[in-house]
Amino acid sequence: MKKIIALISCMFGLFVFMNVYHEPQVDAAEKTYTIGTDVTFPPFVYANSNNKYVGIDMELIRSIAKEEGFKVDIKPIGFNAAVQSLSSGQIDGVIAGMTITDERREKFDFSTPYYKSGIVMAVAPKSDVKSLKDLKGKRVAVKTGTSGATYANSIKDRYGFKTVTFDDSDNVYNDVKNGNSAACFDDSAVLNYGVKTGLGLKVVTKPTDTGSYGFAVEKGKNKELMAKFNSGLKKLKANGQYDKIIKKYTGESATSSQKKANDKADSEGHTFIGLIKQNKSAILEGIFETIKLTVVSIICATIFGVLVGLLGVLPSKVARGASTTIIYIFRGLPLLVLALFIYNGVPSLTGSKVPAFIAGIITLTLNEGAYTAAFVKGGIAAVDPGQMEAARSLGLPFGRSMRKVILPQGIKIMIPSFINQFIITLKDTSILSIIGILELTQTGKIIIARNLEGFKIWTIIALIYLIIITVLTLLSKWVERRIND
């Protein structure tokens, strides 16, 4: 037991050491607003070759912030997650090419429109689909929560096709390029930009269902931020900066230069080694965040699991019932659902924000801790009952009998399960990309949105996970041998 406690202490110390950094100094006179966005939506939001978030939306919000004297903290959490986070009060605003609709106006307040776009259909270059009528009996790919998805679902019965939904644009486009879907629907500005810069699809319809993009805040809240956005946008249009931003990302020079950059990258840098070199800093940050999540979650889940597991073996029906209930609930809830409930559901109930990293730790602690508690109970139950009887017959109280006789034997039985749970925790961190934590999986999505090298980037990410898991397994095996010596 002492060795286990020492190991947990060492892991906690490692986390503290890894997490030491200096907080950036912020001018107290300038208020900072947290803005959610989807960084897989070029030319409005995407990460450039230096992994800096750029695009029409990013330049607009930063320019407006400069004009109006406030700061923005950009959260790249994806469109669907951004909308949910805004609804729950986790963020102050969303700018992600969001079309203003009557349905959305019921939940959000929108700014003055800053861009107009319609919905178009794109297909593979050699496709025989030329119009909506050709979609009968076929499958169409759309992105969660977008106007393209809304439009496609509104006409699918009329034209006889079915839709399949993805969380990011890269999977939508690849589903069409790979032949799994016959077509996809998306904003005309986005698809036209992609086609001109080498996306590998062709647009076959004219824009329809035209709508306006707007900056959104939670309904009835952040009126000051909304006023600043509208005021700043008006100033940008008056001084000509707005037109310069739009032209910078949609003009012929913008798309042709991006096409050349993509072609150059294809010939020089889109090898596995080249992609690693180009995205080294982003990948390292993703690895660091993944390791942080894993280390802290393992520590918290182990403590939580051991305590709940021990409750399950106490000579008290109430304690055993509480242990069984906790294990049943948190093992039964899917990790994805639990993460969204803690990050978006709890703030809706309490009115208090939960930082994404903290929400992730709580999610993993409850889920992994429930599994840990189950095998702690199992490990103790596996010890011969005669051991407890013998200890009690010698006059030892229950607590001391458990600590001195049962636990030392039970821990040796539990060690393989502990090792397995450590590995599962590492892999489960990838699910937390749904709440915008920039761990390894989310980092991969952002990189792919820029270079569209889905297969190669996911191969690199997979290999990194395997390397980390191998190192963790070897370390765990070493600890197991030391404890069993």
Amino acid code (one letter) for 183? A
Do 465 and 352 have their domain in common?
A: yes
Do 290 and 376 have their domain in common?
A: yes
Quote the pLDDT of residue 350.
81
Is residue 26 in a domain? no
Do 151 and 232 have their domain in common?
A: no
Is residue 258 in a domain? yes
Amino acid code (one letter) for 262? N
Do 207 and 355 have their domain in common?
A: no
Task: Give yes or no for a contact between 295 and 11, defined as CB atoms under 8 angstroms apart.
Answer: yes
Do 202 and 342 have their domain in common?
A: no
Is residue 273 in a domain? no
Distance CA(424)–CA(45), nearest Å, equals: 33
Do 316 and 440 have their domain in common?
A: yes
- Cα(first)–Cα(last) distance of the chain, in Å? 13
Is residue 432 in a domain? yes
Do 80 and 182 have their domain in common?
A: no
Do 155 and 125 have their domain in common?
A: yes
Is residue 37 in a domain? yes
Is residue 236 in a domain? yes
Quote the pLDDT of residue 464.
92
CATH of residue 282: 1.10.3720.10
Quote the pLDDT of residue 10.
52
Q: How many domains does the chain have?
A: 3
Do 315 and 431 have their domain in common?
A: yes
Give the pLDDT of the chain (485 residues) as one tens digit per residue.
445 445 445 544 544 444 444 334 444 457 899 999 987 788 888 887 777 888 999 999 999 999 999 999 998 887 888 888 898 888 999 998 888 988 899 999 999 999 988 899 999 998 999 999 999 999 999 988 788 898 999 999 999 999 999 877 778 988 999 899 999 999 888 888 888 877 889 999 999 878 899 999 999 989 999 999 999 999 999 999 999 998 888 776 555 555 555 555 555 456 778 788 878 888 898 899 999 998 899 889 988 988 898 888 888 889 889 999 999 999 999 998 999 899 888 888 887 888 889 999 999 999 999 998 888 888 777 777 777 767 777 777 767 777 666 777 767 767 777 777 888 888 899 888 888 788 888 888 878 776 667 778 889 999 999 998 888 778 777 776 776 66
**pLDDT tens digits along 311-358:** 888 888 898 899 999 999 999 999 989 998 998 888 888 878 888 899
CATH of residue 88: 3.40.190.10
Is residue 234 in a domain? yes
Do 368 and 306 have their domain in common?
A: yes
Q: What sign has the CA pseudo-torsion 293, 298, 303, 306?
A: positive
Do 204 and 218 have their domain in common?
A: no
Range of the domain at 359: 2-11+278-484
Is residue 19 in a domain? no
Placement of tokens 């729950």 in the chain: 88
Quote the pLDDT of residue 482.
72
Do 415 and 450 have their domain in common?
A: yes
Packed helices 169-177 and 454-484: angle between N→C axes, nearest 10 degrees: 120
Contacts of 21 (CB under 8 A, 6+ apart): none
